[in-house]
Amino acid sequence: MSRCDTCGKNVSLPFHCQYCGKNFCDEHRLPPNHACAGLAEWKKTPAPGVGIRYSGGGAAAYGGGYAAALKGKKPGLLSFVTGTIPYLKIAIVAIVVIVLLLLVALFIIMGG
């Protein structure tokens, strides 16, 4: 068993800080909670998922992203259909094709 370097609590799975190299309990695992020497470096790193845009076949770090795009404005139905979910477009096209095929089959059955 390891001990937390801040409070001294026995910890079976300690969190190892990559900025100061010490071990901590779940309460003191984040650098601001244990007065880390590398706190300034930790604050420079972006939060997970910030600035990542998932479009065009993969994730790439950009200045925007889903979280950044929604700040200050509410997405409308048009932006929901056109940009956020490309699979919705595919589903709509598939439904239209199926309905047209059913109508053609019905026309052939009724006419022949």
Kindly give the confidence (pLDDT) of every residue in the chain, 112 residues in length, as a single tens digit, with 9 standing for 90 and above.
789 988 999 988 888 998 898 999 989 988 888 888 888 888 887 777 666 666 655 545 554 444 445 555 555 555 555 555 677 888 899 999 999 999 999 999 998 6
Asked if residue 55 and residue 39 are part of one domain, the reply reads no
Asked if residue 40 and residue 51 are part of one domain, the reply reads no
Domain that holds residue 69: 47-73
The reported pTM is 0.41
Q: Amino acid identity of 77?
A: L
Output the six-digit token pair for 82.
Answer: 């056109």
Asked if residue 38 and residue 27 are part of one domain, the reply reads yes
Asked if residue 57 and residue 26 are part of one domain, the reply reads no
For the chain, the domain total comes to 3
Asked if residue 66 and residue 52 are part of one domain, the reply reads yes
DSSP calls for 7-34: T--EESSPEEPTTT--EE-STT-SGGGG
Asked if residue 63 and residue 40 are part of one domain, the reply reads no
CB atoms within 10 A of CB 6: 17
**What is the spatial distance between Cα 49 and Cα 47, in angstroms, rounded to a whole number?**
6
**Cβ(70)–Cβ(57) below 8 Å:** no
Asked if residue 100 and residue 69 are part of one domain, the reply reads no
| Run of H or E including 54 | strand 52-54
